[in-house]
Structure 1
């Protein structure tokens, strides 16, 4: 076996050893498992609650329930049509007065009896004004239909035409808002929010791990057997595995109950493709941001200073996150969005949203992936150089220019 092959195998073994240590130390802790379980329960409960209220909105329950005696039963078509015209639903039951009176205090809103052209409307206490208007409209339509019939016309066609009569109001702004804040917006925001949570969580773990090892002087023992680049690579790989498992678990916690309850029915969105794209950009975004978190964390020597590293990098994630949430959803095909979505720090957030809204072409997606893949080796060199020079530095915070010099 050649010397280069032996060295490569040794490097892979060292990186794997560090990665396994990070997985055990970060994922299998009691606090992490409990917090992950709580988040799964919260997500599942949220989906079930959302499905419950969505079901109540769409369960087809009538707004009004009206009983009619047999002599007034011919008003049923007009009552239904009048309800439709007024934006309500009416359920009509044929009952006698004796059967209807006890139910007026329970599930009946009114009872109609007597002459269909001038019916008696019996209510429990006081007539609902909307129901009164609806019954009045239905009775008038019935009388007009009788008059049309006497003149030789078609009462059914007249009733249908009367129910359809009226202006059809439409708003351009309302239509735009519906497009922007409909199911597509919900899916897009959930996807990039999950991505943001995963990247911030993993980046913070890497930064804290680097600083912990540096302040406890454990890093000096580790670097006696492995190279700094191997230690950093293993740490990033291990925490990346932990974050990926969390993303998959939380995604499944939302997707499985949503599919089981039928909450996703009617969505004209490729949810499977969207989640695959989110996973792809998680890998690329993690590689971009994790390298920066790991490398720059080596510049500080105390836990109290960790905010000096994490805050600017978190800001670097929040900017594209909010741009994707508001700028991309309003116009996913605009020139500024096209340009920004090619920048590796913006791509992980903007590309999945553009894909949900159908504003990204295949060549643009491939180009953004290519630019990210080209950028990652540059960041590897930068992070490794900073980490190698900063991780053994003690005392005050090391300047970035000093870490890059020489």
Structure 2
């Protein structure tokens, strides 16, 4: 069986195949619902993180009448007096009670979150009591207030002042690499990029493999091959699926960047945007190789049930990239940023961290491009050799041998 001569229509057959792949996938309800759910999930995580980071915590703290030291410490913590920096995300309300029994009762009935009591002349210690373990934020804030109040009293007794005692004790922070992005943000970005790569590669790759085996199992590909060279059929599937995968990641990246603009991380938005653009470039090139290999995995199968076996090596590779890249650091991350397909994630993360010189992403992208071309050429040979073989799973070796012994689709 041989393909028709390559007329103008045949030469452009890959465009028809690509268009069909895009339309079928874009109109697939499962794909659209999955994309919508993912968008809502990403937006929801960002909204929840923003809410948790900006919400105001309120505490009602009991103080016994006559315990003026405790009352003064609470008021200083509440309004920033006495050297305690005010925190607009924490609100303190002083609940005055008659005695210690009333304070304990307030903790039991939850009309107070904690009870602060100052030390007696015999026992100079202070106590912050709670029905359960007092909140860590409250402990830290009141601890600062109490410490400063005690130091101020002792400074006055020594004939000096708090400002004189603490002068020159402030510690300023400086980051010598000049990159304003926090390491935790870099780690989070690595996780997100690895997730986008994994979901895009596996989701769209599986669609390619499913499309190939569907056409092969139904023998439809034998009819298609009389009008479309197999090389162009493969090219159309790769291009169409790449467009869909890229579009999906662009949508998710855009949602993430827009969401970040409403959070405390808006200051690092320029750096994050540059990293995302590099990720899009790397993903665009790298997914072509992934798509080609998934198409081969589909052609090696003879039934839909075979796909789990033929796609397992690819799934393991992509899972390994997902696990290793977002957790990599130091020398390992620098090495991975030049090793396809891990470089799709690792190099954009290094760009965000300010750890990559201007030429490093370009060199890494060139290496990825060479690897992609090699994967596509190898995959095309195996695809053409395996697509027409039926009766059972096809091995890579038999696929390559069959391609060498036929001119089908050339």
Q: Same fold (TM over 0.5)?
A: yes
Contact 1:75/1:138 (<8 A) preserved: no
Aligned to 1:318: 319
Shift of 1:387: 1.6
Contact 2:17/2:240 (<8 A) preserved: yes
**Structure 1 residues 268 and 49: alpha-carbon distance in aligned structure 2, compared to 1, 3 A threshold:** closer
Which of 151, 154, 157 in structure 2 is aligned with 1:144? 154
Output the CA distance in 1 between the equivalents of 2:145 and 2:368: 66
1:213 counterpart = 2:202: no
Task: Measure, in 1, the Cα distance between the counterparts of 2:289 and 2:53.
Answer: 39
Distance 1:199 1:108, change over 3 A: closer
> Could you tell me how far 1:381 is from its partner in structure 2?
2.3
* 2:18 matched residue in structure 1: 19
Query: Greater CA deviation, 71-80 or 13-22?
Result: 71-80
Residue aligning to 1:195: 197
Would you say the 8 A contact 1:76–1:92 is kept in 2? no
- Tell me which of 344, 348, 351 is aligned to 2:347: 351
Summarize the Cα distance change of 1:154–1:21 in structure 2 as closer, same or farther, 3 Å threshold: same
2:393 corresponds to 1:388 = no
| In structure 1, distance between residues paired with 2:374 and 2:93 | 73
**Following TM superposition, by how much is the alpha carbon of 1:32 offset from its aligned partner in structure 2, in angstroms?**
1.9
- Whether the 8 Å contact between 1:277 and 1:352 is mirrored in structure 2 is yes
Cα shift readout 1:195-223 (whole Å, capped 9, x = no counterpart): 11101111111111101100011111111
Structure 1 counterpart of 2:364: 368
Is 1:157 matched with 2:163? yes
For 2:394 and 2:116, locate their aligned partners in 1 and report how far apart those are by CA, in whole Å: 84
The two structures have a TM-score, normalised by structure 1, of 0.73
Say whether residues 1:204 and 2:210 are aligned partners: no
Change in Cα spacing, 1:274 to 1:301, as seen in structure 2 (3 Å) is same
Report the number of matched residues: 367
> Aligned partners of 1:316 and 1:197: how far apart in 2?
13
Provide closer, same or farther for how the CA distance between residues 184 and 299 of structure 1 changes in structure 2, counting only shifts above 3 A: same
Does structure 2 retain, via aligned residues, the 8 Å contact 1:300–1:397?
A: yes
Residue 298 of structure 2 contacts residue 307 of structure 2 at CA under 8 Å; is this kept in 1?
yes
Instruction: Quote the residue 1:174 is aligned against.
Output: none
- Aligned with 1:254 (options 253, 256, 273): 256
Which is richer in helix?
1
Give the match for residue 45 of structure 2: 46
Following the alignment from structure 2 to structure 1, what is the Cα–Cα distance between the partners of residues 393 and 96? 86
Is the 1:296–1:383 contact (alpha carbons within 8 Å) kept by the matching residues of 2? no
Asked whether 1:300 is paired with 2:314, we answer no
Tell me, what secondary structure is at the counterpart of 1:199?
Answer: helix
- Deviations for 1:383-402, whole angstroms, at most 9, x for unmatched residues? 22222221111112223222
Cα distance in 2 for partners of 1:33, 1:18 equals 21
Q: Structure 1 CA distance, aligned partners of 2:271 and 2:7? A: 42
TM-score, structure 2 as length reference: 0.73
For residues 344 and 318 of structure 1, what CA distance do their matches in structure 2 show?
Answer: 14
Q: Deviations over 1:161-195 (max 9, x none)?
A: 39x79xx9xxxxxxxxxx99611100121012111
What runs of 5+ residues in structure 2 fail to find an aligned partner? 118-125, 172-180, 405-410
Match of 2:277 in 1: 276
Match of 1:398 in 2: 394
CA deviation after TM superposition for structure 1 residue 350, in Å: 2.2
Preserved CA contact (<8 Å) 2:73 2:145 = no
Q: Show the counterpart of 1:115.
A: none
In 1: Cα distance, 2:279 partner to 2:163 partner: 54
Deviation (angstroms), 1:360: 2.4
User: CA shift at 1:95, angstroms?
Assistant: 9.5
**Are the counterparts in 2 of residues 78 and 139 from structure 1 also a CA contact under 8 Å?**
no
1: CA distance, partners of 2:129 / 2:363? 70
Query: Would the aligned equivalents of 2:293 and 2:375 in 1 still touch at CA under 8 Å?
Result: yes
Q: Secondary structure at the match of 2:46?
A: helix
1:94, CA displacement in angstroms? 12
CA distance in 1 between partners of 2:267 and 2:84 (Å): 23
Q: Using the TM superposition, name which of 180-189 and 274-283 deviates more.
A: 180-189
